Chain A
Amino acid sequence: MKRSLMSGNEAVAAGAYAAGVRVAAAYPGTPSTEILEELSKYGDIYCEWSPNEKVALEVAIGSCLGGARSLAAMKHVGLNVAADPWMTLPLIGVNAGFLLVIADDPGMHSSQNEQDSRYYARMAKVPLLEPADSQEAYEMVAEAFTLSERYDTPVMLRIETRISHSRTVVEHREERMEVDLPYERDAVKRVMIPGHARLRHPVVIERLAHLEREAESFRFNRMELKSSRVGIVTSGVCYQYAREAFPEASILKLGFIYPLPEKLIREFASHFRRLFIVEELEPYLEEGLKALGLDVVGKSRIPRDGELNPTVVGESLGEMIEMDTGVQGGGWSRPWHAPEAVFDSRLPGRPPVMCPGCPHRGLFYALGRCKAVPASDIGCYTLSVLPPLEGIDCQVCMGASVGMALGLERAFASSEVNRAKAGSVVGVLGDSTFIHGGITGLIDMVYNRTLSTIIILDNRTTAMTGFQDHPGTGRTIMGEETYALDLEKLARAIGVDSVRVVDPWDLDETEKVIREEMGAPHTSVIISRRPCVMLERTAGDYYEVEEDECNACGRCLRLGCPALVMRGESASIDCELCTGCSLCFQLCRQKAMRKVSGNG
């Protein structure tokens, strides 16, 4: 046994390795990304970055049917993309074990919504496990594969940001199980024509009764009986918050949360007048316990949005627990709060920004000058929404910019009030995002003759999640060289009339091409191509401002570059941050910017 400090994601990877997983697939997405990155480091597991989560899930379905223990990992919104195979997989069942690891992001540290994935397990009638730290994450992976094979069902492991990105101590083994099951044809079970599916659905329903018995005896459910007055039901990282806030409370910590262990819950409940439910996001456990007819306090006190922590749990329940126990604050000792005068409104925010030298900056500056109506996707470039660039108008999910651009264009073209905007719509999306979900939208655009412009911000990586490869980069997660998808050829094959490539560090040319394509009576794709500045550092050149020449007009500040600031009567460049991209030089009418060679 080794003792290591592991993030939840590392622990899942270590658990999957130990459980003998042979195929693992994912699309990067915070907070789930490191699961596949860690797993790929073992070297003897087939790992892949799939083009999107749906493909990842389907790859893992195929490989589990083929007799290899298989894992798919994604962030919460990824399962929306993969929901189609997810909902029918339970009918087919598995051969070797199948595990879906899903990472929720309460508080939306790096997400567009904070949907609660637990309902996806219930909707698909798939057993759901939830670990409370990295040790449990590590061990639950092995349990999940055992369950999966014993009951012929996929299993879902749900983690959250504070499990994924918290490091806790894990005692782990070095050995790896070997699982290699024979493949046999079984079309009634695996081909879901209606006649077969009708036979399979009752099997899934019957399976739930067995799974409920497993839930009752799951070793990661734990009843901690202390105070006879206060009973808390919780699971996952919320257990840690509840335990810390109320050290004397009795707690039923659940590790198996679909189906719920009814008998265990009733036994725990029998000790208390009422129960407190501590859970993040939706009232999932609360609804389950209320359906059992139990008297519970949950979302009436605990916030339904955002992330919990010991302070929020303590403050939310302290008063009520005091009523039940007579103990001041219910045992929660209210922390000292610093005077508000120093915090809150007085402090300037520090939103994430596009890096100095980011190729997206030039593109969005040029786009802004073209008075476009831009629909956007999700990536670093979404940060262009903030001042001063204010580069995009709308954004929902990956790939959506193309379809939204089509819809906007059609609405404007058929409108009286918005008529002037017709022809000004563009969709902007990244290279990885385009491959993920934009291609079908582009096919639609050509097929239905919609005359919009799509701009692919091709920075040769999946930047926002930490520079993962994708089908366009020519390299796999295993570090192997491979065919690099040719975006120009693909767009032409789809039937796009005009495909052009620009360098976003050339502002005049970029603006010219955007204007031409926006004005042209055809569907066009502009590929704004320059590698992410974090990947390919420049030679060390930078610019400085000749103060005598600068008239402080502020024109260069419209770029929103963190390396540029107005100091007194002159602009000033932080030479440590400047990458020498030259955009400010191109904008300056006073010619006050001077290039300094990094080599001296």
Chain B
Amino acid sequence: MADVILAGVGGQGCILSARIAAETALNMGYDVKTSEVHGMAQRGGSVVCMVRWSEEVRSPLIPCGAADFILAFELLEGLRYLEYVSREGAAIVNNYQLDPLPVLRGDEIYPEDALEDIHSIIPRMMVVQAREMAIEAGNVRAAGSVLLGVFSSFLDFPVDAWEESILRLVPGKAREVNRKAFTLGRQAGRASS
């Protein structure tokens, strides 16, 4: 079983990554529930998706402090939803800062040591250069699949199950790039564990 938080910025692909993880868990025979954010919040706003799988899942929303994993697509958003993560949980963090408008305007200040802050709360942290790896795979937009690849190295689902979900859910020509991005992430995850 696992409770997973995916946190990022609208347009980064959190929803698609959440769906890939959920469909993979479904194919492994689990009961699965997800929670997504649609509509207004997607316009460059803060986005959080939740995925849970177990023998039986009740709430689609994860209680605070209960998540086993957080996939942070962006540093500030990782920090924002950290209260959902268990202290024994793991943080997979894309080392990427995307300044929100209030910071761009100089009205608010981006946390100086976001990575340190996350690490001080969740000792099990893996930092990923997901954007660079996605570019290596062929498209910066595949960063979510890099994070999923890293995440997959923490679980015992067979790699085929992941790839099957990616090929089924990612549209058209982006499929191969995402599969490659996933593979790069998985290798990085395995190398560090």
Contacts and interface: CB of A to CB of B under 8 A. Distances in A.
A562 B46 contact: no
A5 B23 contact: yes
What secondary structure prevails in chain B residues at the interface with A?
A: mixed
Contacts of A464: 39-40, 43
Contacts of A337: 64-65, 83
What secondary structure prevails in chain A residues at the interface with B?
A: loop
Interface stretch (B96-104, B145-153, B175-183, B184-192): B96-104
Contact of B40 (A109, A241, A245, A387): A109
A376 B102 CA distance: 23
Interface residues of A, number: 58
A165 B140 contact: no
A166 B60 contact: yes
A234 B45 CA distance: 32
Nearest to A75: B39
A575 to B, nearest CB: 12
A352 B104 CA distance: 14
Contacts of A311: 63-64
Nearest to B66: A335
Interface string B65-105: 11000000000110110110011000000000001111111
Given A387-B105, A562-B44, A162 B61 contact: yes
Given A109-B39, A335-B65, A355-B43, A168 B60 contact: yes
A169 B26 CA distance: 8
A386 B43 CA distance: 13
A343 B63 contact: no
Given A244-B59, A347-B79, A165 B37 contact: yes
B44 A355 contact: yes
A582 to B, nearest CB: 19
Contact of B108 (A5, A162, A244, A349): A349
Contacts of A576: 140
Contacts of B10: 352
Given A30-B40, A110-B39, A240-B58, A387 B99 contact: no
Interface string A260-271: 000000000000
A519 B166 CA distance: 57
B66 A386 contact: no
11 contacts: A241-B61, A244-B59, A245-B63, A347-B80, A348-B108, A349-B100, A350-B45, A353-B45, A464-B39, A564-B104, A566-B106
Interface of A: 3, 5, 7, 30-31, 33-34, 109-110, 133, 162, 165-169, 237, 240-241, 243-245, 309-311, 314, 335-339, 342-343, 346-355, 380, 383, 386-388, 464-466, 557, 560, 562, 564-566, 576
The 6 closest A-B pairs by CB, nearest first: A335-B65, A30-B39, A110-B39, A352-B45, A348-B108, A166-B60
